[in-house]
Copies of this chain bind each other. A is one copy, B any other.
Amino acid sequence: MSLTNGLEIPKETLDAEIQAFFDSAPPLKNRVDISEKLEEFVKKNSLPSGSGGVRKVVCVTSGGTTVPLEQRCVRYIDNFSSGYRGAASTEYFLKAGYAVIFLYRRGTCQPYCRSLPDDPLLECFEYMDESNIKVSQPHSEAVRNAITKNRAAVTGSLLLKLPFTTIFEYLQMLQMIALSMRSLGPHAMLYLAAAVSDFYVPWKSMAEHKIQSGTGPLDMRLVQVPKMLLVLRQDWAPKAFCISFKLETDSKILLEKADMALKKYKMHMVVANELSTRKEEVVVVRSNEKVSVHRNNSLGDNDVESPLIELIVERHSAYVNNSDI
């Protein structure tokens, strides 16, 4: 993320850039279907929850976005992300009583499936006879968990899964979700764990056909994706509790950049994590505090996401109580 643009460019310019990005993006194929699902999900979760209070709703974004290099896409640039963080966080948000909109990259890690092998069907099952399928040890516990907990969350309208692949799909869907969550006011949270491309090739300037390798090297020019965080925060869902993530491979610049993002995009919280240690430790950066959160190996839930979500839920509750509704 840039240190020198963002707030420094006038809001009008940013708005124009964002409008241009959306105008040039290929239109979302299933837009109507998505908006119907969103409307229904938000409506169901706007009613008082079991505890009598209003249920909190979080949108968890997960996995990396792709940037097509050709319109009939053969090649694209991808951002690495297994989606483990988003899947784990979704489980802990559900456990904490939240309803979750899980905006995830197709094929990445799903909630309740983190402990399963890559290819559960072929690796966890044995076929007995016409009427019987047996889960092979040692997977039976994990398989039962995955099937039952996922089923319960989805059928209970507490988990809405929306898949994306490209940066164009991701940003259009994120905007739809943020707008649909406005009615929830401060009870809405945006937990932006997805690894979003900083650069893209504008759709109209993209090669229609597969790029030919020719004889020489391939020179590519990618332009910056306009920074949507500020607009998301100020215009799309101004009352929502917003958390963004900062991933770096170089720990020396990590906290500085997290601070920068917090100020530039007016986030309520930035979760700073370093690629090599991200499953052990993250640092929660806020205007008034920096809290280092560690995975606790002595507990059952030994994911760093367990104490992380606990801390976030606490801060979100305080935020809801402090905001005049």
A247–B209 CA distance with the chains assembled, in angstroms: 11
Contact string, A1-40, partner B, CB cutoff 8 A, digits 1/0?
1101100000000000000000000000000000000000
Tell me the number of copies of this protein: 2
Q: A223 at the A/B interface (Cβ < 8 Å)?
A: yes
With A209-B248, A215-B5 known to touch, is A125 a contact of B147 (CB < 8 Å)? yes
With A74-B249, A110-B119, A120-B121 known to touch, is A213 a contact of B66 (CB < 8 Å)? no
Q: Are B70 and A75 closer than 8 Å at their CB atoms?
A: no
Q: Are A73 and B77 closer than 8 Å at their CB atoms?
A: no
Among B69, B195, B218, which residue has its beta carbon within 8 angstroms of that of A74? B195
Q: Are A250 and B210 closer than 8 Å at their CB atoms?
A: yes
A247–B213 CA distance with the chains assembled, in angstroms: 13
Q: A116 at the A/B interface (Cβ < 8 Å)?
A: yes
Return A243 CB to nearest CB of chain B, in Å: 20
Query: Which of A66, A121, A208, A221 has the most chain B CB atoms closer than 10 A to its own CB?
Result: A121
Residues of B within 8 A of A124 (CB): 121
Residues of B within 8 A of A76 (CB): 77-78, 80
Contact string, A224-248, partner B, CB cutoff 8 A, digits 1/0?
1000000000000000000000011
Residues of B within 8 A of A49 (CB): none
A75–B247 CA distance with the chains assembled, in angstroms: 12
Residues of B within 8 A of A276 (CB): 72
Return A320 CB to nearest CB of chain B, in Å: 32
A76–B72 CA distance with the chains assembled, in angstroms: 19
Interface residues of A in 109-127 (CB under 8 A from B): 110, 113, 116, 118-122, 124-127
A72–B212 CA distance with the chains assembled, in angstroms: 28
A127–B112 CA distance with the chains assembled, in angstroms: 14
Q: Which 7 A-B pairs have the closest CB atoms?
A: A198-B213, A72-B249, A120-B121, A218-B222, A127-B147, A209-B250, A209-B249
Q: A76-B77, A217-B224 are in contact. List 17 more A-B contacts (CB 8 A).
A: A66-B78, A73-B80, A74-B79, A75-B77, A75-B197, A77-B78, A106-B118, A113-B122, A121-B124, A121-B147, A122-B151, A132-B132, A198-B213, A208-B249, A210-B247, A210-B250, A218-B222
